[in-house]
Amino acid sequence: MTSLFTVPSTEAVTKEMVDTFCQLKIAETSRVEYKGDFPNNLGKTVAAFANTFGGIILIGVEADSDNRPILPVGGVEFKRGLEERVYQICNSAIYPPLWPDVWVVRFEESSGSPPDRCVVVIRVTESQEAPHAVEGREDIYLRTLNTSQPFRRATVDEIQELLTKRKASAERRAAITSRFRARVKFFRDNSENIRPKVRPSFPIHPDTIRYFVDGMPAIEIMCVPAFPRGPLVDLRDLQNIMSRFNLMRVRQSGGDLLLLSGNWRSAQESLLQIPANTIFRFAEANQYGLFGYYEHDNEDSKIMAAWRDQPSPVIESQFDVNLTILRQAALSVLVFLPVFYKALGFWGLLDLSVRATNMRGRTPVFRPLDGSVSVCPDPEINCEVRVTVDHLRVSLENIASEIMQKIHSAFGDSQNMDSQISDDARRTRAVFEEFNRGAI
C-alpha cells in the first residue's frame, strides 16, 4: 500500500508493485477504488478524491463482493494514449482542472499475463484548489466510506469549508512571498556589498548612492507551492538539504561559476543566504516550499560613476541592462528547483515567477543579431507560470525558453534572439542533468 501512495511521480510503477498492493486485499475505502474498465464517471471519481483526502484508482483491477481486489489482476487492453485519455478527462470534465499522477503499467510475458494488457494507476492528491466541480461546473462531490455510494454531493457548509481552506492557502502564499520581498529590501538597504571597494576622491552627495541602488536593474525569481497548507520540512532538515547544494551559473562555457555557496543562516521558518563580495544577491529557502532568489545587475564601475557630487538623482536610464546576467540567474534557479522539491518530497502545483525590475528606458548590453538597439518601455518584466514539479523537470527547456522569450520580447528583439534562446534552453537541460546526477 505504501509504495503506490508514496512513489515519486517521476519514478515508474511496476506490475510487481501493483500485484503487491492488490495482495494486501485492501477493501475499497475513501482513498482506494478498483475498476475493471474505464468508468464513465472517472471525472467525478477523481474530483471527489481531490475534494476529500486524495486516493488511488486502479483501472484494470476487478473487485469481489466484499469490494476487495480479485487476483490475479486481469488488466485492461493496452492501447496507445491511455495516459492522455485520463488527462483529457481531468482537464475537460473537472473545474478547475486536475492533473493527477498517472502510470500505465504494461504486463510482461514473464508475469504469466497476456502482454497486451495493462493496469492504469491514477493517484490523486488532496487538492488545495478544491472545490472541484463536475457536470457542467454545477456539482461538487466528496468521497464517502459507503462502497455502494462511493461519493455524494457536498453540502453548502462543506463547500464553504473547502473555499475557506483555499482562501487560507492563498493568504499564506501571499504572506510568504511578501515576507521574501521585505527581507530583500531590508538586507539590501543595510548591505555593505553595494559600496565600491575603493572610495572616490570626489565629494559624495548623501542621496546619490541610495537613489542609484534603488534604481538598479534587478531580477527576482520566486517559486512557491500554489496552495501551501503547512511546513513541508522542519528547519533542521531544511538546513541539511540546502547544505548539500551549490548553485552554479548556467553559462555557455560551462557551469563553473558559483551562483550561491556557503552557509545558510536561519530566520523565521526560513534559511537565508547573502553571498559575500557581490554587489547584492539574496536567497531564501522556506519550510513551506518557497525558494526565492534576487540579484542586482551591476558592477563596481557603474556605482563609481554614480558617486559624484550631484544634487539631482541619477537618471534612471543611465545604464544598459546586462541581460546575460539576468538570463544566467533565471536559468540557474530553474536547474535547481526540481532537485529542491524532490528533496522536500513535494510533487504538487507550483507558482513560478520571474520579475525583472527597473527596466524602463534600458537598452540591452547583449545586442540582437541584427545590431539594432531596443529600449524597454515598461518598468517591470513579469513572467508567471503554474506548473507541477514533474512538468518543471520534464519540460525544463520549454519553460526556460518561455521565460527567456518573455524577457527578450520586452526589448523588442525576440525574433532576433531565437538562436540564443534555444542555446540557453539546451544548456539548461545539460546542466540540470549534471546537477541532478550530483556531478556538479
E strands, 367-435, are 380-388
- Say what the pTM is: 0.67
Q: Is there a contact between 68 and 46 (Cβ–Cβ < 8 Å)?
A: no
What DSSP element (H or E) covers 205?
Answer: none
Question: Best-predicted range by mean pLDDT among 182-191, 280-289, 372-381?
Answer: 280-289
* DSSP symbol at 176: H
Mean pLDDT of 27-50: 90
Run of H or E residues at 425: helix 418-437
- Is the distance from CB of 173 to CB of 351 less than 8 angstroms? yes
Euclidean distance between CA atoms 400 and 17, whole angstroms: 35
| The predicted structure's pLDDT at residue 398 | 81
The reported pLDDT for the residue numbered 130 is: 85
Q: Are 42 and 86 in contact (CB under 8 A)?
A: yes
Domain boundary assignment for the chain: 2-154, 165-437
pLDDT for residue 320: 59
At residue 1, the pLDDT reads 42
Q: How far is CA 71 from CA 28, 113, 166, in A?
A: 15, 12, 40
pLDDT digits (tens, 9 = 90+) for 296-311: 865 444 554 554 444 4
Residue 215 near residue 318 (C-beta atoms within 8 A): no
Q: Are 94 and 47 in contact (CB under 8 A)?
A: yes
- Could you tell me which residue, 146 or 23, shows the higher pLDDT? 23
Identify the bridge partners of residue 265 per DSSP, sorted by sequence position: 272
- Using pLDDT thresholds of 50, 70 and 90, give the confidence band for residue 274: confident
Looking at residues 36-60, what average pLDDT do you find?
Answer: 90
419 touches 405 (CB < 8 A): no
Nearest CA to 326 out of 221, 213, 191 is that of 221
Amino acid code (one letter) for 306: A
The predicted-structure confidence for 49-82, as pLDDT tens digits, reads as follows 988 878 899 999 999 988 899 999 999 999 889 9
φ, ψ of residue 248 to 5 degrees: the values are -110, 145
Residue 325 or 418, more confident: 325
Confidence of residue 196 (pLDDT cuts 50, 70, 90): very low
The domain defined by 2-154 folds into 3.30.950
Q: Identify the three-state secondary structure at position 173.
A: helix
226 versus 293: which is more confidently predicted? 293
* Residue showing cell 525583472: 356
pLDDT of residue 283: 93
Strand duo 55-59 + 32-35: pairing: parallel
Helix residue ranges, H only, 192-321: 208-214, 235-243, 300-306
Match 485492461 to its residue by C-alpha cell: 76
CB 109 within 8 Å of CB 19: no
pLDDT above 50 for 369? yes
